[in-house]
Each structure stands twice: as structure tokens, then as C-alpha cells.
Chains A and B, each alone.
Chain A
Amino acid sequence: MPLQICIEFYGSVRLRAGESSMLLPADDIGITVGQALSSVTRRFPQLIGFCCGSDGALQPGFVVNVDGQLFTRDDSHRLLPGQTLLVLSADVGG
């Protein structure tokens, strides 16, 4: 099994990306949320300035969630291989 992190897109992020998910390679120590989002914007430049900057910093109004469990806006949070990062509007529900 290659070491990977899955990124899932929801709502307007999915609409703009035109995809519902993507896979990122990751080594044993994983990557940070900021690095993951930065990779996302390289693949989907249309997301720059919408949900995050090209440096991977989240824009206000958006949040990420790890494995459906932990919500965070901390771009230094480390993702480990096998984990899934959800990118979504901070306004979940309503």
C-alpha cells in the first residue's frame, strides 16, 4: 500500500474543484494541513483565494476536519498516512 493521505471536498469547494476527492503522497511522518492544502491549490488553482491561499492558509469561512473526527483551523496540524482530510464550509448545518 503506498503511503497516502486522502483529501475530500464538500459543498462549494467540491463545486469549484469539479472533483470530490484527491490523493496525496505522504511519507512516514506525514504532512501538515498547510502542506496538504498547498498541494490542493497546485492541483486546483481555482481554489486559491476561495477556501485557502497558495501557502495553504485557510480562508475565513472554511474549516478542515480529520477523519470525520477532529475539526481544526491549525495549518501546522500533522496528518499521518492513511488519514483523510475533509475541506468544507465552516458553516456546517443551517
Chain B
Amino acid sequence: MLLPLTVSAESQAVPTPGYHGRYLWVDLTSATAELRSISARDLRRFLGGSGLATYLLLYHGGANCGPTDAESPLVFSYSPLVGSPLTTSAKFAVVSRSPLTGMINDSLVSSAFALAGKRVGVDAMVITGRCETAHYLLVDGLRCEVRSAAMLRGRSCRDTEQALRKELGNEFQLAVIGPAGENGVRYATISHDGRHAGRGGNGAVMGSKNLKAIAVRGDQRVAWAHPLELQLAAKELSRRSFGSSTSKYRELGTAANLSVLNRLKALPTRNFQQGEFAEAEQMDPVQLAQDYHHTRSSCAACTIGCEHMYQPTSSTQGISGQPVRVEYENLFALGPLCGIHDVDAVLRASQLCDDMGIDTISTGGTVAFAMECVERGWLTTAPWLRFGDSHALLRAIELIGRREGVGVELGLGSRAFSVLLGPQAESIAPHVKGLELPGYEPRAAQAMAVGFAVGTRGADHNRSGAYQVDFSEAVDRYHLRTEDVHHLLETEDQAALFDSVIFCKFLRGVFADLFQDVAEYLRLVTGWEVTSEELRCTARRIVTLKKMFNVRAGWVPSDDTLPERMLQQSPIGNPQARITSVQLQDLVRAYNLARGWTAEGWVPSDTLRPLDLLDLVGDPSTVPQSS
């Protein structure tokens, strides 16, 4: 069915270079679409990616409805750099209210979808409403259509992409969900070309709209303010991206973290009971490259190419025998966290998660939690779920994706599952605000501990890179002091800039001064005379905007904490890894004050004025679309 498109007069204005100055709003319930303007002021305030999408989500009332309510908006947002020759810039953000946490959820994905989506002629796409049955949305330039996806129901992410590619051709780029998204698994992903908007359950939001896929194609290009200088700057950035600061990513990928974190006693093992895994060295990528067929790949428009793929040596029924992308996070979560050292099983488990469309960190975290509950006798309905049992892991993933058996409870995530099992189980559920912890033992990395506790999307290592602070000369990671928290703010602000402008964070070692360098790239793209000070303010604005979303969505100060067990015990074998509730609260208070918020974490209006956010106070329905 073709959707009638309304075009506002303002959306036809000449846009700022680098932008189209408008976004596509699609309501699946009424089967209508609108082209709406975004003012130059708002583009400069929120840049794009995560920042712009959070703004649009708030504007469209995303904090005022349930994550899977029909009216809950799902926002795709590009950036001024998308389509430019700057390396690693072909990325997009997907933002919604998370079904896992109830808070803001922004995920970043590469690659060609960003290029094609921006060429539609918009800077973002807001999808609201719900189809009556399974459909997919086709956006071909400004022609929007919803088509039946009945034949795609229940099919894996990979199969869905293949089927749609066959039907539509290779010019369309696809964002799809797997069975898990259709079945409402709270940590379902949105997949594009095997890469996932992974955390927090954007796939479940898409599934709740009965939207199996989105296909985009377009030919609208934006202008660049200084195209010749931009080409030269891009060439220089590409040259620098080949230096030693990215060698780890090029040569081994993030999987190289596993041995290091193990040595530093910061590798979460057996549901965070330990910080070391005896068999970790077997999983080191130097070893993997000897044991498995190894290939390398990269996102579109990237000169680094950090994706390392390994071919499983055995196959399991229902799992395709394709090479598997291995990152530290899937390796740790489906390996040591579940007590599993069989690398082949971890590869197959990763592949199964990708096919089902579920986040590997939350999958590993929730399964490991359930394994410990079985061990302690608190979960009796799935006695086969045992640490170290790779068959049990594969069976659990299949059940989660299909939402069958114990997969129904596992699909809720560790927080909601633990509530069903009782207070003892709640104390060991490995989450913050409902989002499972990634692969950093917070008691052995206390800057990261605070970063997890205050994280707006929950326990997260991509919105707070505080582990960089822990594993540096800057602090004592076992004894963080309140005066150290400014380091954390810096990593959060940098992440907010990376995710909004958008650059891949693996470039971070390449920039001499991130804010200064990005200011120059933005000048070349947009023509704005932007300074590093302005960008620092922009980053703080975006972090605060996410906090404002959460406040509106029901955040309370007690949400900023760690799992109870982590505040009471050290991991086995590392007594110095200890942080008490009082210490954590002091650090969180210091963080809040350093942000200009109250000690409890509320955002006062005198903080909003210098951040130019005053217009967002009050009922979101009254937020002006300012110009």
C-alpha cells in the first residue's frame, strides 16, 4: 500500500550543507507519511545520530508511552558526515524507549544503510504506529509503501535480508528483525548486513509495530560547504587511520581484549562470580587465527576494518555455516560469562544470536544469571542450564529467539526474570537499570563501575568509555576518588560527540584533540564556524538531554547503582576488587555535581540555560519545533 505523503512548506527550504534539513515521519497505523523540517538551530544543537534522534524521540512523546505501545516512536538518524569521504562516518543511530530498561536506548550501526537512508533526502526517519499484520516498509526516495511480510514471518535476520534482496535488488539497503524481534524478546536487535543495533531491544520495538524490515533507496545528495578542503582532510584522516593506534583493531579486532582483561582480573566469568577465566588464553585471537579459517571485513567507508571473522569447524542444525564476526563482547558473554571455553560453540552461539536477532551481551548475561540460579537451586524448571555446557547455551538461545519454554522468561532479560525468582536472585542479576553489564568487572574497574551506574541506557561501555580511565595511569582502578570523576565525564562527552556527529570510536587514538578535529571537519562539511568549546557544550547538552528523557520516563536516583552482590562481595580470588554501596554513592554524587546536576542527579533549570535546553522543560507536546 502506497502511503500518501504530506510535505510541509518549511521542509522545502534550502538546507545547511551536510544536511537535508528535514525528516520523514511515518505513521503505520494511519498509513500516512509526512516530510517535516528540522531547523538549522536544532541541527546545530543536536548534530545528528544519537543527539538528534533523542531530541526527535522526546519531541514525539517517546517518554510518555510504553516502549511497545503502538504510538512509541522508533527513530533512525543519520549525521552530517554520512556520505562524506571521512573514514568510518557511514553510520546511523536507532533510538527508542527501551523495552528492557524503560529508559532511553540509542544504538549505533554501520554501514550502507546509513548512506542509502540519507540519500532518501532526509536526516532522520521517525516511525510510529502499528501495522495490523507483518509488513515491511519500503522507502524509495520519498515514495513510501508498506508491503506484506507474511512470507518472511519467523525467518532469521540473514534469510530475511536474502529474501528481500532477491525481491528488491541490491540497490535497496535493509534493516530487519529476526524471530526474536517478532516475538518481543526485550533485547532483540535490528540487523543490517550482519551488523546489529544491538543493545536495549530496538528490535522488539520494531517487532511490536509488526514491522519485519525497512528497505531504503535514494539519490538525493547533500552539498558540502568546502568540498575540496574536505577531500584533503579526509585523505589525511585515512592516512592517520593506518597508524599504530588502530593496529589492534586492524590486526586482531576487539577480541584481543579477552587475554588482557583476564590478566587484569577484570574478565567477568560465571555470572560475575570471578574476574579470571582459566581457559581465556585459548580464546585469544592470536590463537583463534591459527585454529580457525580467518577473514577480515569492514563497514562501508572504513579504512580500519576491525571485523574479524572465523569459520566454525562444526555445524549445528539450523545454524548456517558462514564465517562468524567475533568481537570481545560476544566472545566474553557467550564464553567465560557462561563458563564456556569451547570456541567453536561460542562461534555457533554468536551466529545463532545473529540469526535470531538478539543482543549477545544480554543473551550471555541472562543465560549466565539463569545458570547460577540453577546451580543455587533457585531455578528448577530448566535444570539442564549449567555453566560450561555449550549445548545448554545453544538450546537456550534457540528457546529465547522462539520465545518457548524457559526462553519466555530468559527473553525478559535478567532483571525481570530475577523478579520472578525472588530477592536472592534479584541480588545477583547482572544489570543496571535492566541492561546487562558488558565485559568489564566493575569491582576491578571502578571508573567503569560509576559509568555503569550513571549510564542513561544502563550498564554500557559505549556511552561511557570509563574503562579507558581505569586502564591508564590516570587513576587507581581499585580506589577511585571523587576527584577522579571528571575523567568519566570526559569519556561520556567524547562518546556523545562520536555518536552524534558520527565517527567510529575506534578512531579515538587517531585524533590529537577530538573536539578540535571534529570542529574542523564540521566546518568543512556544514560551513559552521564551530569551535571545540561549542562542541564540548554540545556533547554535555546531548548527555543531559538523555538524562531529561529518563527523568520524564520515570528515572529515580536509586536507579543509579550496581547489582547488590557487587556492593557486598569481591569476585573470587581478588579481594582488592571491592566497592561498597557508600563508596559508590559518594562517587555518583560527585559525578552528578560535576555534571551541574543536583547531588541526587536531578537536572536543575539553571543547568539547562547554558546548554540551550530550556525549551525542552515541561510537557513534550509543547516542545516547539524551533527555528
- The yes or no answer to B260 lying at the interface (CB within 8 A) is yes
Which residues on the B side are within 8 Å of A92 (C-beta)? Answer: 257, 260-261, 264, 467-468, 471
Contact between B260 and A63, CB atoms less than 8 A apart: no
| Chain A residues near B286 (CB-CB < 8 A) | 14-15, 20
B251 touches A94 (CB 8 A): no
Please measure, in the bound complex, the distance between the C-alpha atom of A92 and the C-alpha atom of B472, giving whole angstroms: 9
A60 touching B245, Cβ below 8 Å: yes
Q: Which residues of A contact B264 (CB under 8 A)?
A: 65, 68, 92
Contact with A along B404-447 (1 / 0, CB 8 A): 00000000000000000000000000000000000010000000
What is the number of residues of chain A that contact chain B, defined by CB distance less than 8 Å? Answer: 27
**CB atoms of B263 and A71 under 8 A apart:** no
- Give A40-78 as 1s and 0s: 1 = Cβ < 8 Å from B's Cβ atoms: 000000000011000000011111010010011100000
User: How many of chain B's residues touch chain A, expressed as a range?
Assistant: 20 to 34
Closest B residue to A10 by beta carbon equals: B260
Contact A93 B244 (CB under 8 A): no
* Interface-lining segment among A22-30, A31-39, A83-91: A83-91
How far in angstroms is the closest Cβ of chain B from A26?
21
Closest-by-CB residue of B relative to A86 is B263
A90 lies within 8 A of B509 (CB):
yes
Q: Tell me the smallest distance from the CB of A88 to a CB of chain B, in Å.
A: 6
Cross-chain contact A12 with B245 (CB below 8 angstroms): no
B580 at interface (Cβ–Cβ under 8 A)?
Answer: no
Asked if B257 and A93 sit within 8 Å, CB to CB, the answer is yes
A44 to B584, CA, bound (A): 44
Chain A: CB-nearest residue to B257: A93
A12 and B473 form a contact (CB under 8 A): no
B252 within 8 A of A: yes
Whether B265 pairs with A68 at a CB distance below 8 angstroms is yes
Q: Give Cα distance in the complex from A40 to B264, angstroms.
A: 22
- A11 contacts B252, CB within 8 Å? yes
Is the CB of B254 closer than 8 A to any CB of chain A? yes
Question: How far is B260's CA from A8's CA once the two chains are assembled, in angstroms?
Answer: 10
A71 to B472, Cβ gap below 8 A?
yes
Query: Is B473 in contact with A72, judged by CB distance below 8 angstroms?
Result: yes
CA distance A62 to B247 in the complex (A): 11
Q: Which residues of A contact B265 (CB under 8 A)?
A: 68
Contact with A along B498-509 (1 / 0, CB 8 A): 000000011011
Judge whether B244 and A73 touch: CB under 8 Å: no
In the complex, A50→B250 CA distance in Å? 14
**Is B461 an interface position by the 8 A CB rule?**
yes
CA distance A94 to B260 in the complex (A): 12
Bound Cα distance from A11 to B264, whole angstroms = 14
Tell me whether B245 and A94 are in contact (CB under 8 A): no
Picked from A59, A62, A93, the residue with its CB within 8 Å of the CB of B471 is: A93
Q: Give Cα distance in the complex from A14 to B248, angstroms.
A: 11
Give the chain B neighbours of A60 by CB distance below 8 A: 244-245, 509
CB-contact partner of A8 in B263, B440, B465, B473, under 8 A: B263
> How long is the Cα–Cα vector from A73 to B243 in the complex, in angstroms?
19
Given known contacts A88-B260, A93-B471, A11 and B248 CB-to-CB distance under 8 angstroms:
yes
CA distance A55 to B478 in the complex (A): 32
Contacts of B259 in A (CB 8 A): 10-11
Q: How many A-B residue pairs have CB under 8 A?
A: 85
Contact A93 B261 (CB under 8 A): yes
The interface residues of chain B lying within 8 Å CB-to-CB of A86 are: 260, 263
B505 pairs with A62, CB closer than 8 A: no
Task: Report if B256 contacts A (CB, 8 A).
Answer: yes
Q: How far is B248's CA from A60's CA once the two chains are assembled, in angstroms? A: 13
CB-CB contacts of B273-293 with A at 8 A, as 1s and 0s?
Answer: 000000001001010000000
Write the B438-461 contact mask toward A (1 if CB under 8 angstroms, else 0).
Answer: 001000000000000000000001
Residues of B within 8 Å of A72, CB to CB, are 473
Contact of A15 among B243, B251, B254, B465 (CB under 8 A): B251
**Known contacts A91-B245, A93-B471; is-contact A10 B263 (Cβ 8 Å):** yes
Q: Knowing A8-B263, A15-B286, say if A90 contacts B472 (CB, 8 Å).
A: yes
A89 touches which of B247, B261, B467, B505 (Cβ 8 Å): B247
Residues in B whose Cβ lies below 8 Å from that of A50 = 244, 247
Pick from A14, A61, A73, A93: contact of B245, CB below 8 A: A61
Find chain A residues with CB under 8 A from B473 CB.
63, 71-73
Q: Which single residue of chain B is at the shortest CB-CB distance from A71?
A: B473
CB atoms of A94 and B252 under 8 A apart: no
B358 CB to nearest chain A CB (Å) = 22
Determine the chain A residues whose CB is within 8 A of the CB of B257 once the complex forms. 92-94
The answer to whether A68 and B263 touch across the interface, beta carbons within 8 angstroms, is yes
Closest residue to B506 on the A side, CB-wise? A94
* Distance of A93 Cα from B245 Cα, bound (Å): 13
Task: Give the residue of A15, A59, A68, A73 whose beta carbon is less than 8 angstroms from that of B252.
Answer: A15
A73 to B251, CA, bound (A): 23
Cβ–Cβ contact A12 & B248, under 8 A: yes
Contacts of B256 in A (CB 8 A): 10-12, 89
Report how far A14 CA is from B265 CA in the complex, Å.
19
CB-contacts of B293-333 with A (<8 A) = 328
CB-defined contacts of B254 to chain A, threshold 8 Å: 94
Measured CA separation A10–B252 after assembly (Å): 11
CB distance from A71 to the nearest CB of B (A): 5
Rounded to whole angstroms, the CA-CA distance of A10 and B251 in the bound complex is: 12
Q: Determine how close the nearest CB of chain A comes to the CB of B231; give it in whole angstroms.
A: 27
A51→B247 CA distance, assembly (Å): 10
Given contacts A50-B244, A92-B260, A93-B440, 12 further A-B contacts (CB under 8 A): A10-B256, A10-B259, A11-B251, A50-B247, A63-B472, A68-B263, A71-B472, A92-B261, A93-B328, A93-B467, A94-B254, A94-B257
Nearest 7 CB-CB pairs, A to B?
A: A92-B471, A11-B256, A61-B245, A93-B467, A89-B248, A61-B244, A12-B247
15 A-B pairs in the complex with CB atoms less than 8 angstroms apart: A10-B263, A11-B248, A11-B251, A11-B259, A15-B251, A59-B244, A61-B509, A68-B264, A72-B473, A88-B260, A90-B245, A91-B508, A92-B471, A94-B465, A94-B505
